[in-house]
Structure 1
Amino acid sequence: MGIAFIRTLILYAVVIAAVRVMGKRQIGELQPSELVVAILISDLASVPMQQTGTPLTSGIVPILTLISCEVALSGLTLLSSRLRRVVTGRPSILIQNGQINQSEMRRLRFTVDDLMEELRLCGYMNVTDVAVAVLETNGKLSVFPSCAKAPVTAEMLHVQCPPDGGLPTTLICDGKLFPESLRAAGKNRDWLEAILSTQGVTVEGVFLMTVDNLDKTIIIKKDGGALSSARAAG
């Protein structure tokens, strides 16, 4: 039992490392070659995990080989657009100016039901509401609405937008201060203590605290499991 436990931990660590090497894509965004590698890795890891008589290297070596091949192939596809098209394919336009590309749908074996389902998931009920729909190489449908169905933007209304504060930096999470984030935001401990004192809370009493490039600070306090929020300008 102990040997099986240790072998499982080792294989678990190897598979996690292998997936990390492959990159940060989600399962639904994997390219075909990456999906194949992910499936093969799970099969290769399950055999030595279940059969303690099988050498551990019989699972680890093939996994490392697959990852090496995948990394090498990814590097080659960066250098050759032709190889990239062979390995990952190319995007396909299924709708152009509200017209369905029927020949392309037949080539891809993409049914009308599949198309309408994807459009509904994107918030469109009619094909005529769509200007362009592109089936990406990862199998997802990118939908661009027609001018009449496009959401109104500030540019259309000629509205002057306020300055963007950028991505907020997390300073405190669950009562723990991140000094490196505080330095990255260009702040110091004195500034932090001053902001917290205006809210009547300490670092340990903060569930989440963020600050953006415009010094807009958001503080969510701990309150016996309940959350309350406060905003302050730095």
Structure 2
Amino acid sequence: MDTVLRIAVIYLFVLVGLRVLGKREFGQLSPLELVSLLMIPEIVAQAAVGSDYSLTTALTAAATLFVLVFVTSMLAQRFEVFETLVSGRPTVLVHNGRFIEAAMNHTRVTPAEVFSEMHKAGMEVLSEVKWAILEPDGSIAVIAHDPPSDKPGHPPPEKKLAL
């Protein structure tokens, strides 16, 4: 029982710590995936080279971690509030071609990171960006302004022929 309690406390501590760090620290991993990947080798290493050489303890610890991850993911899928607590919410970084400084400072995203994602999306200047959103997985989604021809009531732009 001691092993189960220790693993549960460590799991919750690491999960909360990663949420406090922020989404940019994860890269493309969800907090649940990252916690699992960080803890499994450590748990198994305890049985292999640690002070407790018991295979039973290592298997109990790993099973406890798997159950905790499974229960956390079920709760996140079932309850939106719990999912928001575990994964976070998207953060708007750019709106209508303007940086939202408070959001960028809070999430520690630099303009260079936004520009890099803009360039990947085929945009060259900030005024082309309708929205840039930091997703809960740490990626930045960039949405361009609609071209004038796509808006209802606007005629398509004239095309000039080169002679």
> What TM-score comes out, normalization by structure 2 length?
0.64
Deviation at 1:61, TM superposition (A): 1.6
Aligned to 1:101: 100
Aligned to 1:41: 40
Counterpart check, 1:127 vs 2:131: no
Deviation at 1:91, TM superposition (A): 0.5
Task: Supply the AA of the counterpart residue of 1:121.
Answer: K
CA contact (8 A) 2:94 2:131 kept: yes
Distance (whole Å) between structure 2 residues aligned to residue 50 and residue 122 of structure 1: 48
Distance (whole Å) between structure 2 residues aligned to residue 48 and residue 126 of structure 1: 55
Deviation digits for residues 30-58 of structure 1 (CA, Å, limit 9, x no counterpart): 2113211221112223343456x822223
User: Secondary structure of 1:124's match?
Assistant: coil
Aligned to 1:79: 78
Moved over 4 A (4+): none
Larger RCO of the pair (alpha carbons < 8 Å, separation 6+): 2
**Identity over aligned residues, as a percent?**
25
Greater helix fraction, Structure 1 or Structure 2: 2
Aligned to 2:62: 63
Distance (whole Å) between structure 2 residues aligned to residue 48 and residue 29 of structure 1: 30
Which ranges of structure 1 fall in alignment gaps of 5 or more residues? Answer: 1-26, 150-156, 158-234
User: Secondary structure of 2:57's match?
Assistant: helix
Aligned to 2:4: none
Counterpart check, 1:113 vs 2:119: no
Deviation at 1:90, TM superposition (A): 0.3
Aligned to 2:142: 143
User: Secondary structure of 1:125's match?
Assistant: coil
Deviation at 1:113, TM superposition (A): 2.3
Q: Is the alpha carbon distance of 1:127 and 1:82 closer, same or farther for their aligned partners in structure 2, counting shifts above 3 Å?
A: same
Q: CA RMSD in A?
A: 2.7
User: Secondary structure of 1:142's match?
Assistant: strand
Distance (whole Å) between structure 2 residues aligned to residue 105 and residue 74 of structure 1: 29
Between structure 1 and structure 2, the one with the greater Rg is 1
Task: Supply the AA of the counterpart residue of 2:113.
Answer: D
Distance (whole Å) between structure 2 residues aligned to residue 146 and residue 99 of structure 1: 13
Distance (whole Å) between structure 2 residues aligned to residue 42 and residue 128 of structure 1: 46
Deviation at 1:94, TM superposition (A): 1.0
Q: Is the alpha carbon distance of 1:75 and 1:114 closer, same or farther for their aligned partners in structure 2, counting shifts above 3 Å?
A: same
Task: Supply the AA of the counterpart residue of 1:86.
Answer: L
Deviation at 1:78, TM superposition (A): 2.2
Greater strand fraction, Structure 1 or Structure 2: 1
> What TM-score comes out, normalization by structure 1 length?
0.46
Q: Report how many residues are paired.
A: 124
- Aligned ranges 1:176-191 → 2 under 5 Å: none
Distance (whole Å) between structure 2 residues aligned to residue 46 and residue 123 of structure 1: 46
Deviation digits for residues 13-36 of structure 1 (CA, Å, limit 9, x no counterpart): xxxxxxxxxxxxxx9542113211
Aligned to 1:202: none
Task: Supply the AA of the counterpart residue of 1:146.
Answer: H
Task: Supply the AA of the counterpart residue of 1:144.
Answer: I
Which ranges of structure 2 fall in alignment gaps of 5 or more residues? Answer: 1-25, 149-155, 157-163
